[in-house]
Amino acid sequence: MSSKLYLVPTPIGNLEDITLRAIRILKEADLILAEDTRTSAVLLRHYDIGTRMDSFHKFNEHKKLGHFIGLLKSGSAIALISDAGTPSISDPGFLLVRECIQEQIEVECLPGATAFVPALVNSGFPSERFVFEGFLPQKKGRNKRLEALKEEDRTLIFYESPFRLVKTLVQLADVFSPEHQVCVSRELTKIHEENRRGTLKELSEYYADHPPKGEIVIVFNPRPDSV
């Protein structure tokens, strides 16, 4: 197997959502870097993948970066995965990819699962032009980020935790309009998948009464008159 960094998307919920190529590379790699080795062990056991794992997450990526670059330079084939979805999309990966490019180490990214794509397509909002914002700042800079998007006419996509969903919907209503249509996608690809549509006001009230669980994607168009 060629010495390079392989970015391997993993299922965002349903374990069947992985490619044959991804399984092969995970089996053939010398090392798998996982955001949480305990979480990834479930996937690897399911597909009988016995490749050695090491942890690589936002709390240790700076510390371990040099070590993994050294392994790649010495001829190792390393696969990077996150807990779910595509590495570097609101998950660790950017620093390692950038360092590989600077060190002229080959990088190969496989296509695969990413939560915001099915949420966008399923939302019913225009999908030919969109802005993926990922997670909003939890505290400092949150309102400033939203205010900066007021003149945006492309569909906006946010990731959010269930604990901050209502707060975010209320803030969006304050910045834009309570009557803006929005789609909240929850637990995508899982048994309890939910795609709920309505106004920002309606959904903020709904989720205030029905506290959500699981990973969440918010999709809406800030200027529906421009569609």
CATH number at residue 164: 3.30.950.10
Question: Which domain does 45 fall in, by range?
Answer: 5-109
Q: Is there a single domain that holds both residue 84 and residue 137?
A: no
Mean pLDDT to the nearest integer, 89-98: 94
Neighbours of 195 (CB within 10 A): 17
The model carries a pTM of 0.91
| Domain final position from 58, 88, 109 | 109
Statement to judge: residues 11 and 96 lie in one domain: yes
Residues 28-47, mean pLDDT to the nearest whole number? 97
Number of domain units in the chain: 2
> Do both 132 and 84 map to the same domain?
no
Query: Does the pLDDT at position 226 exceed 60?
Result: no
Q: Which residues, 6+ apart, have CB-to-CB distance to 215 below 8 Å?
A: 12, 84, 115, 159, 186, 187, 188
CA distance 69 to 103: 8
Q: Is 128 exposed, middle or buried (0-12, 13-18, 19+ CB in 10 A)?
A: exposed
pLDDT, position 227: 47
Which pLDDT does position 141 carry in this prediction? Answer: 87
Which pLDDT band, with edges at 50, 70 and 90, does 1 fall under? confident
Going by pLDDT thresholds of 50, 70 and 90, the confidence category of residue 151 is confident
Residues 18, 95: one domain? yes
